Amino acid sequence: MIIKQPYMDNSLIHFLNSIQNIVLRILECYSMEKCFRCRFPDSNFAVLYFSSYTVQPEILDLPHPQNHGITMRNLLNELQKVNPQKVICVIRLNAPASFPRNLRKIQQKAVDEFFKLNCYVKLYGKSQFINHAKFFFGFTYCLSHNYRSIYSEIYFGSTNMTLPGLSSHNRTGGLGNYEEFHRHKYVPWKCCPYYFPKESLYLLKEVEEIITERYNLYYDNEYLESYLNHHVYIIKQILNSLSSRIERENIGEIFQAYIDSQTTYLNLLSFINDLPGRLRTESIIGELVSQVETPNPLEIEMLVPINEEQAGRIADELGYKTQDLKERTKEYINVTFLALELLQKNYKVQDILEYFDRFEERFYLFLRENGPLHRERIRDFLRRYEVWF
């Protein structure tokens, strides 16, 4: 573990060096492929998988403190020179719709930037409330009859992809974050292949699942219809349960229902935000956020009670009254029902292509040409080597 003091740039240095290591290995493999194409199989590939609670778009252009020409955007743009069928970029974030006001706009801008960099963007997870995972996972697989290289690198810790999270006070007007981070490199072929870390295997599987889901959502209307209907059904069940729970008089039960109504609403906002067709989904989200204030995810996370007794104590400490909690809970139940109604009325799977904005139109073409190949390259690797892990 390494500590990042508020006045230090060490987290940014290690973060960009981790990405640079993967990029250099990708370029090295690609250059050898061009020289010895007939000897290299078509299964070589590389993965860059990012995850963060939030991202400042400016972080893409934050230069390396010791090497001013290196930025995250430059490194990812460098990969555009490589065969896109062999370079896989994935970013996992909290959905912009789950944030209040200005933060929503900033997060959305970051999402747009990653779309432009041909990254698979994941904004929603089943049963997920908040994505707190902050990491970069890099992986390269380069193989021929006389050359073999499998390399993995993981950078992780408490640092969000923000200026204060990665950088020093000199860049942020005098304030920086106190953070911790870790960085591990693995070169299994230099010893024994079965030393390859299980966490890397897990993350490769996760990347494959994200690619598969993204492709199915954009190109398989039956899958999208089923995916949508299943989620609507689950949310309706939750809302019906909440409606009956708020008829009770125990303040602990009602406070639990109040928190559950907000987590359900935030979860549904993330679900809508993650659907293809942003011209339509953003109009639905815009109507919803005009009806009720978007809860702060971190505040709700702090208020989730262990049990009914603790819920009652929290409600008393915060000065909530039974009738006030009931009204607030009904407000979130009603707006969540409205969200389902708007989805069923205005989001037509057969018209999905009409809902794409300019970022999605570009990604749609990229996905058609590269999605199945990306998925099969990872699956092929897992089939070959999973027995060792």
What local confidence, expressed as pLDDT, does residue 80 receive? 78
20 is in which domain, residue-wise?
2-93+131-196
What local confidence, expressed as pLDDT, does residue 186 receive? 75
106 domain residue, yes or no: no
At position 75, the amino acid (one-letter code) is L
Rounded CA separation 363/119 (Å): 8
φ/ψ of residue 92, rounded to 5: -115, 125
285 domain residue, yes or no: yes
Rounded CA separation 60/113 (Å): 9
What local confidence, expressed as pLDDT, does residue 26 receive? 86
**47 contacts 206 by C-beta, under 8 angstroms:** no
Note whether 154 and 274 are same-domain residues: no
Rounded CA separation 275/271 (Å): 7
Note whether 178 and 245 are same-domain residues: no
Note whether 153 and 46 are same-domain residues: yes
71 domain residue, yes or no: yes
Beta-carbon contacts of 273 under 8 Å, excluding residues fewer than 6 positions away, are 95, 96, 97, 98, 123, 124, 281, 285
The first and second tokens of residue 33, run together, are 């492929």
What local confidence, expressed as pLDDT, does residue 149 receive? 78
Rounded CA separation 144/76 (Å): 25
Coil vs helix vs strand at 134: coil
Coil vs helix vs strand at 186: strand
Rounded CA separation 64/15 (Å): 9
364 domain residue, yes or no: no
Rounded CA separation 375/208 (Å): 6
Note whether 227 and 180 are same-domain residues: no
β-pairing, 2-4 with 179-186?
A: antiparallel
What local confidence, expressed as pLDDT, does residue 168 receive? 79
Q: What does the CA dihedral 262, 268, 269, 272 come to, rounded to 10 degrees?
A: 180
Note whether 182 and 231 are same-domain residues: no
Note whether 142 and 263 are same-domain residues: no
336 domain residue, yes or no: yes
Rounded CA separation 79/20 (Å): 11
Number of alpha helices (DSSP H) and beta strands (DSSP E) in the chain = 12, 7
Whole-prediction pTM = 0.93
Rounded CA separation 303/297 (Å): 10
Let me know the angle formed at the C-alpha of 118 by 114 and 124, rounded to the nearest 5 degrees: 55
The position carrying tokens 């960009």 is 16
Note whether 165 and 32 are same-domain residues: yes
Rounded CA separation 165/106 (Å): 16
**359 contacts 278 by C-beta, under 8 angstroms:** yes
Rounded CA separation 176/153 (Å): 26
Domain count, the chain: 2
Q: What is the mean pLDDT of each run of 10 residues along the chain (389 residues)?
A: 90 93 86 57 84 93 88 89 88 93 92 94 88 94 72 92 84 79 75 64 94 97 96 95 91 95 95 96 94 92 93 94 94 96 95 95 95 93 68
Query: Per DSSP, what are the bridge partners of residue 119?
Result: 89
58 domain residue, yes or no: yes
Rounded CA separation 215/213 (Å): 5
Note whether 45 and 180 are same-domain residues: yes
The alpha carbons of the chain give a radius of gyration, in whole angstroms, of 23
What local confidence, expressed as pLDDT, does residue 244 receive? 92
Say how many residues make up the chain: 389
- Pick from 178, 200, 177, 196: which is nearest to 187 by CA? 196
Let me know the angle formed at the C-alpha of 113 by 153 and 169, rounded to the nearest 5 degrees: 70
Note whether 154 and 241 are same-domain residues: no
Note whether 62 and 170 are same-domain residues: yes
Note whether 184 and 230 are same-domain residues: no
What local confidence, expressed as pLDDT, does residue 389 receive? 47
Rounded CA separation 271/119 (Å): 19
